[in-house]
Chain A
Amino acid sequence: MNSDKNPRKFWSPLLAGIGLGVALLGMFVVTGHGLGAYGFYKRVTIWLSNDISSQWTQANTYLSASLNNHHPLDIWLSWEVAGIAFGALLGSMLARRFKFKIERGSSINITSRLSLAILGGILSGLGASLARGCTSGLGLSGAATLSVAGFLFLMGFFIAGLLMAKITRKVW
């Protein structure tokens, strides 16, 4: 059906979900913790902030609490994110889906798309800091341990996402 140059289709969500579940289970069994991403961003922020002004960083209550091993490569999350990057690269290259692009809806221009990407990132940075985790670290991994925290987070995530989509659907 596909010629050799076309990108391959995405997997069925059931199959990919089973694979993801097994990877998450494996991570728990081997290391005792699940998968995450937010901790990596927090470490990078601490590292950058400490590089620019270690005085300010040490005085900041939130950042200084995690300052003890401040280099991002010191902690497992950085290696995990390196793995995520490698896995994504491998998956997209093998299936000929890798392509440099700015993915956007047809009704917005590149400048608006990139501005919104930064704005969405800022909101997510605030949200993940507040929640103490992100969709992977708290939503997925937290729910797999049947924690109340994980399901509370997912409720907030899906309800707000569905409501906000009424406004942002034009963007996509």
Chain B
Amino acid sequence: MDYIPQYMEIPAVIVFGSLFGYFLEVSGLGSPKKLNAQFVLKDWSVFKVMFTSIVVAAAGLLILGNDMMWLIDSSAFSIPTTFFWAMLIGGALLGIGLNVGGYCPGTSVVGFFSGRIDALFFMIGMIIGVLLFAIFFEFIEPFYLAAQGPESQTLSELIHLPSWTIVIILFILAVVGFILGNKFEEKSNGIINSSDLDSE
């Protein structure tokens, strides 16, 4: 990337990586109990943290990309290309993996570095999983490549709405999610806090 000198890239990556780990930890998303409470709809922290950060980052990218072209070149951002079945089923496997194992790949690092030994077992499982994928890649490959979409397709290209409209829709969805989540959390009294994790 050309934004910053090469020798500054690694320090920048370490700084933003640290902030990522820090905010995941302080929000409680290093705890498998708290992560899994989302899927039984008792604690909506996963949704709230994720959607807030998506809206903040998406709005920021849009504003900086539009008005500060001299600062950043939005066409240089890496935008993933859709592979319909692989990404839908891959996402599903990560959802199931979180139910069964307690973490996702990133939160397992947070879990382990806040003292959770079970997270290390999850991390070892991840490596076995990647290896199994590689071993059976020949059989998986047709599915892996199936239903490829246009390169780096965005929602605004798909549904022909301006990007800022999409961000506003996401913001509204986030607000609705927060209100709904608060109702569920109140009803079940299910928010998990740090003191609830000390009992075992």
In the assembled complex, the Cα of A86 lies from the Cα of B119 at a distance in Å of 16
Interface size for chain A: under 10, 10 to 19, 20 to 34, or 35 or more residues? 35 or more
Interface string of A13-24 (1 = CB under 8 A from B): 110111111111
- Answer whether residue B127 sits at the interface, using C-beta atoms and an 8 A cutoff: yes
Contact A21/B56 with A126-B129, A147-B155 known, Cβ cut-off 8 Å: yes
Q: A159 to chain B: closest CB distance in Å?
A: 7
Query: Who on chain B is nearest to A84 by CB?
Result: B21
B54–A121 CB distance below 8 A: no
Contact A28/B129 with A118-B124, A169-B40 known, Cβ cut-off 8 Å: no
A140–B125 CB distance below 8 A: no
Interface residues of chain B: helix, strand, loop or mixed (majority): helix
Contact A44/B53 with A10-B28, A19-B19, A84-B21 known, Cβ cut-off 8 Å: no
* Chain A residues engaging chain B, CB cutoff 8 angstroms: 6-11, 13-14, 16-38, 41-42, 44-45, 48-49, 60-63, 76, 79-92, 95, 97-106, 113-114, 116-140, 142-162, 164-165, 167-169, 171-172
* Chain B residues engaging chain A, CB cutoff 8 angstroms: 1, 3-4, 9-10, 12-28, 30-34, 36-41, 44-45, 48-58, 60-61, 64, 71-72, 76-84, 86-119, 121-135, 137-138, 140-141, 143-144, 149, 152-158, 163, 166-167, 178, 193-195, 197-198, 200
Provide a sorted-by-A list of 6 A–B residue pairs whose CB atoms are within 8 angstroms: A16-B23, A22-B56, A49-B131, A60-B137, A95-B26, A118-B122
